[in-house]
């Protein structure tokens, strides 16, 4: 059996970061399984998956070495050990719409979604009673300052050892600083067949344009709003004289189904993101 771990590196871009990190891991007898890096507006981020033979896995020494390297590079470097036998731990982010939270909570409770939902996190208290009714811990972070709110949210997720995040109609945009830490591990539901009608008023835009088919899209979150790799989509026909209210109600029912389907696919560990496209493996 191998021991797996994820290493994330975030900070100002500089020469030699990848070499420094991979050389250190080589000295620690690690095998690099996968590596993704990117630079955006001078900010460097890297996600690296490594493995060790059980007799070579020395977590304290590896953490201490990565901490020293982080100080030398003036970057944030984190190590997260992965236990393949442990169920995935998920966080659900919500604002005030309840339909997706209810669908997810039902799926987790029934065992359809095979993971442990460890927190419902929100910027409002509207859905606290619903979360509590499913015996889910609820955390409200109401700070209007996005950087402060994200800092508190990240601390909560780290403390709870969260593996993935589901945005169940969470109406705040996540910064690159947040997204980099959970690359291809944040799932969002959007009320349109992306790339059509991005943004917050998708149903209204579709209604005003008179489209005959409306859909929803579950996708991984990236730094580019509503442009992440698509996991699942579905649609329904708009019947004559259908009101905007009826369109929204039909869309919300479909949002719940598609988001649950996307989380189920993610948990099956049969998804791979290659050049921005999600493939089932």
Helix, strand, coil distribution of the chain in percent, nearest 5: 35, 30, 35
Task: Compute, in degrees rounded to 10, the torsion defined by CA atoms 51, 53, 59, 62.
Answer: -70
Q: For residue 238, give the DSSP letter.
A: P
Tokens of residue 230, six digits: 């698509």
Q: How far apart are CA 239 and CA 213, in angstroms?
A: 9
Q: How far is CA 86 from CA 81, 83, 116, 161, 270, in A?
A: 11, 5, 10, 11, 17
3-state secondary structure of 7: strand
- Catalytic one of 116, 226, 234, 272: 226
The answer to whether residues 218 and 259 touch, using CB atoms and an 8 Å cutoff, is yes
Q: Look up 226 and say whether it is catalytic.
A: yes
Find tokens 């095979």 and name the residue.
114
> Within its chain, how far is the Cα of 89 from the centroid?
12
Residue 263 makes CB contacts below 8 A (sequence gap 6+) with 90, 104, 107, 113, 115, 166, 187
Q: What residues act catalytically? A: 226
């Amino acid at each position: 059996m191998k021991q797996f771990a994820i290493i994330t590196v975030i900070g100002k871009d500089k020469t030699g970061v990848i070499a420094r990190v991979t050389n250190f891991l080589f000295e620690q007898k690690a095998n690099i399984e996968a590596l993704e890096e990117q630079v955006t507006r001078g900010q460097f981020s890297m996600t690296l998956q490594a493995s060790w033979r059980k007799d070579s896995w020395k977590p304290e020494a590896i953490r201490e070495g990565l901490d020293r390297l982080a100080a030398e590079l003036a970057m944030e470097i984190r190590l997260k050990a992965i236990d393949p036998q442990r169920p995935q731990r998920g966080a659900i982010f919500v604002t005030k719409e309840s339909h997706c939270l209810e669908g997810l909570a039902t799926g987790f409770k029934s065992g359809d979604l095979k993971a442990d939902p460890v927190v419902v996190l929100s910027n409002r208290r509207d859905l606290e009673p619903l979360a509590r009714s499913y015996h889910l811990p609820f955390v409200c972070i109401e700070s209007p300052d996005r950087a402060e709110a994200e800092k508190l949210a990240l601390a909560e997720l780290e403390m709870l050892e969260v593996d993935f995040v589901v945005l169940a109609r969470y109406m705040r945009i996540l910064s690159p600083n947040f997204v980099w830490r959970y690359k291809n591990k944040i799932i969002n539901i959007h009320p349109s067949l992306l790339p059509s009608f991005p943004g917050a008023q998708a149903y209204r835009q579709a209604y005003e344009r008179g489209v005959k088919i409306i859909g929803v899209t579950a996708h991984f979150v990236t730094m580019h709003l509503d442009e992440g790799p698509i996991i699942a989509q579905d649609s329904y026909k708009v019947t004559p004289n259908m009101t905007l209210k009826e369109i929204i109600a039909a869309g919300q029912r479909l949002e719940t189904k598609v988001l649950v389907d996307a989380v189920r696919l993610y948990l099956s560990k049969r998804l791979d993101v290659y050049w921005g496209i999600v493939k089932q493996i």
